[in-house]
Structure 1
Amino acid sequence: MLAEVQLLGKDTAALAGARLWALSDDEVTDCLRAAHRLEQAAAVLQAQLVRQACSRGLPAAHGARTPGGWLRELLRLDPQPARELVEQATALDRHPVVEQAALDGVVDLRQAVVISEILDAVPADLTALAADAGVDPSGVETAELLERAGHTMIDLAGRLPAFQLRRIGERILTHVAPHLADQADAAALARQEARAHQRRGFTLSLPVDGMVRVSGVLGAEDAATLSAALHPLCRPIPGDDRAPRQRRADALIDVCRLALRTGELPYDGGQPPQLAVTVAYDPLTRALGVATADTGERLGPATARRLACDAQILPIVLGGDGQILDAGRSRRTATGILRRALHVRDGGCAFPDCDRPPRWTDAHHITAWTAGGGTDLDNLVLLCRHHHRLIHHPTGGWQIRPGSDHQPDFLPPPHIDAQQHARRNLYHHRQ
């Protein structure tokens, strides 16, 4: 078998290097379908091999704590694909009919896993469910209904992708046993909610090229709560060129920043939760260097300058060998009465026509604090996180200056307005 699999891999690699430009349109389409079929058959074979390895105890024999960990080491897989491979092998093992459908090319592997999970969600004792529903239980056979449900889902897989199959499968009994559907739904939802609560999770990957992958799963109730919190912050605003996914990412950070500002989070290490950033400062050039977050990740000088706008500054003098010679007193750049005055004056983010309220804003120094700018009302302006980043971006081109009435004026870059006429936020009510 090994020789045949190796030969198949060699032939497939050779085909992948073939000249595809000579194919007709119909041949491209047909070859794509055939390649997908080949991929799915290979995936089922892989799942079967994983199941066989687990049944023999190979992961433990190789010192792995979990089958997923063993696959990560053996196949050089990332954690998520390794977990998915184990889940696929387990799902197919429970329902041979579904596995055979995958081998026959009737369903692909994702559809097969979904169908298996749907069948697993059918109550184990439909006879008792029928009795509770006031239906004569003598005509209810769980095994027969499961078989009908499986064949129904396999038939539907010829028309629907996996995500739509899952939605239909939530009410599969309406197709095969409508007289039990309502009771089965209630029981299935209770099990689903308990399972979702148990499986909930949230992970942050190690940084790669300055990016951290955020992933996780939430129950339906928790997801609805998250959506309710993010939705008001995800609306497009005039001149906002962010993609929806970028707005959602920014909204999540805004919610976290608001939580940090409330002062109601539990203390961490004897202090309120906070983002700590260490940054080198050159007193001769009054310039900030590369910063380091308390997670150990490095941040660029532009990010350090933006964070310093509305942060607690703790000056520390280091000797040549890095020893601390002096630690000054920390101070907040805009708090108390000054922060309240900014709320009253700006009414929220002062960037032209932004609708973010004061609680979602930072206090930005018009003339940077590191450049000698004062922490006073005329040198401060409220900006939401998105527009704060825009102002600090080296190619953003926007400038801010105090007007004659001490209100902040925004000067757009020449590519937006060649005359660079001053603009103000007309959305917020001015006191």
Structure 2
Amino acid sequence: MLEALAQAEVAVTDCLDAPTWALPEHDLIAALDAAHRLEQRLAAVTLALVRELDGRGTATAQGASSTAVWLRNRLRLGVGAARRLTELAATLDTAPTAVRDALAAGTVDVEQARVIADTVQTVHTAAGAQAADKAVGVLVDWAAQFDATQLRKLGTRILDHVAPEVADAAAESALRAQESRATRDRHVTISEQPDGRLRLSGILDTEAAAVLRAAIDPLTAPAGPDDTRTPGQRRHDAVAAVCRLALRTGELPENGGDPAQIVVTTGYDGLTRQLGSGALDFGQQLSAETVRRLACDATILPAVLNGASQPLDVGRQRRLIAGPLRRALVLRDRGCAFPGCDRPPRWCDAHHIQHWADGGDTSLANAVLLCGHHHRHVHRSEWAVRLGGDGHPEFVPPAWLDPDRLPRRNHYHRRT
């Protein structure tokens, strides 16, 4: 396989260097069709590889919390794309052979293949194997004319074509299956932008969508004739207002051992002189004006990162890393410190680098933030943790993963 892929890569490179301007229009169109077929065939190969790696547990063996997270780091994908790739590989693994063959032949694309696999499963449940086999042929034929979105809509009435005697009775079953898929596919992705803003994307199931609309609709109307906000800006402000209201209730569960809250770190002198900027737990910087506004409705917790008035090294008298020491640890690590992990501080435990039971003290120099998955992984694996020369954590992989055992660091939480 590696040799064949190397040859394919050489062939594609040759195509990149080809003078497309010299081709007549009908050859350009034929080349586009051929390139698209090749893309789908390569997608089938990729999905087969992902499914095999997932089945072998390669990702967790190498320290990742899931195959999707491992793919994100290995292939530099967005987490949503990595998750979809893993899910699609699993779906097609159990799909009828004809669906996999159509994808391998380039006659359907990956999204069409997923729709066909989902629809055929529904037909199999409602009308049996024979009807499901007929449905595959019908849907593959339709895929030559319709994209994935249209194909899913047509698939809701596929029984009219392959098993009309049970179509009406199966309509309710199909609706329940659609709701089940909606529940399975629900997700919200929060992506940090370079300037500290967040991009929200995702899919809400029907019930959650109704709840969201009910909560924000009363807050999205223009505040008056002078309100110049766009509809998108009004929805943004409505979501923020609902979240602030939820925080003020005090009924949210604790997060990382603390009440649900916004945490801003700033210098006290700068705050009192109205000059100091600040930083959130996730590393985003806030202007002095924003810090002062948040301080109007805040509890101010003094924490001296060094100095006699608030020592960070509490020695052997205390085992748990909490209070000012945990705050300093969050400021240093900014999230799970394991390489490739992007989980925030509130999802993390404080881990003793030299275990407390083995004589390790409770200090900043002997602590590192780890999410639950990587905390367990470090305890039961051959990964070693230490602080580098600059005082930041680094992880030495086991020899079976890297014979040179070169130290690795987490770059997701690095501030510039």
Q: With the length of structure 2 as denominator, give the TM-score of the two structures.
A: 0.60
Equivalence for 2:323: none
Equivalence for 2:372: none
Contact 1:288 1:304 in 2 (8 A): no
Distance 1:236 1:209 in 2: 28
Cα deviation, residue 22, structure 1: 5.1
Cα deviation, residue 47, structure 1: 1.6
Equivalence for 1:336: none
Distance 1:170 1:117 in 2: 11
> Equivalences for 1:345-364 in 2 at 5 Å?
none
Equivalence for 2:121: 120
RMSD of equivalent CA atoms: 4.0
Cα deviation, residue 146, structure 1: 0.9
Contact 1:101 1:154 in 2 (8 A): yes
Q: What amino acid maps onto 2:213 in structure 1?
A: S
Distance change >3 Å, CA 167–CA 268, structure 1 → 2: same
Equivalence for 2:245: 258
Distance 2:214 2:115 in 1: 28
Cα deviation, residue 101, structure 1: 1.7
Match of 1:153 among 134, 139, 149: 139
Identity of matched residues, %: 41
Distance 1:271 1:3 in 2: 54
Contact 1:110 1:162 in 2 (8 A): yes
Q: Deviations over 1:20-39 (max 9, x none)?
A: 55556666555444332221
Cα deviation, residue 6, structure 1: 1.0
Contact 1:123 1:184 in 2 (8 A): no
Q: Deviations over 1:219-238 (max 9, x none)?
A: 22212222333344445786
> Equivalences for 1:167-178 in 2 at 5 Å?
167-178=153-164
Distance 1:54 1:215 in 2: 26
Q: Deviations over 1:365-388 (max 9, x none)?
A: xxxxxxxxxxxxxxxxxxxxxxxx
> Structure with the greater relative contact order (CA < 8 A, sep ≥ 6): 1 or 2?
2
Match of 1:311 among 290, 294, 297: 297
Contact 1:265 1:272 in 2 (8 A): no
User: Tell me, what secondary structure is at the counterpart of 2:125?
Assistant: coil
Equivalence for 1:144: 130
Cα deviation, residue 9, structure 1: 1.2
> Equivalences for 1:8-19 in 2 at 5 Å?
8-19=8-19
Cα deviation, residue 99, structure 1: 1.6
Contact 2:189 2:200 in 1 (8 A): yes
Equivalence for 2:328: none
Distance change >3 Å, CA 204–CA 168, structure 1 → 2: same
Distance 1:317 1:53 in 2: 46
User: Tell me, what secondary structure is at the counterpart of 1:312?
Assistant: coil
Q: What amino acid maps onto 1:4 in structure 2?
A: A
Equivalence for 1:88: 88
Contact 1:123 1:187 in 2 (8 A): no
Distance change >3 Å, CA 245–CA 41, structure 1 → 2: farther
Cα deviation, residue 100, structure 1: 1.7
Q: What amino acid maps onto 1:257 in structure 2?
A: R
Contact 1:277 1:292 in 2 (8 A): yes
Distance change >3 Å, CA 122–CA 317, structure 1 → 2: closer
Cα deviation, residue 12, structure 1: 1.4
Q: What amino acid maps onto 2:103 in structure 1?
A: A
Contact 1:234 1:248 in 2 (8 A): yes
Q: With the length of structure 1 as denominator, give the TM-score of the two structures.
A: 0.58
User: Quick check: which has more Rg, 1 or 2?
Assistant: 1
Cα deviation, residue 116, structure 1: 0.5
> Equivalences for 1:24-63 in 2 at 5 Å?
29-53=29-53
User: Tell me, what secondary structure is at the counterpart of 1:289?
Assistant: coil
Contact 2:277 2:286 in 1 (8 A): yes
Check if 1:185 corresponds to 2:186: no
Distance 1:210 1:103 in 2: 42
Q: Which runs of 5+ in 1 are unaligned?
A: 127-141, 326-431
User: Tell me, what secondary structure is at the counterpart of 1:287?
Assistant: coil
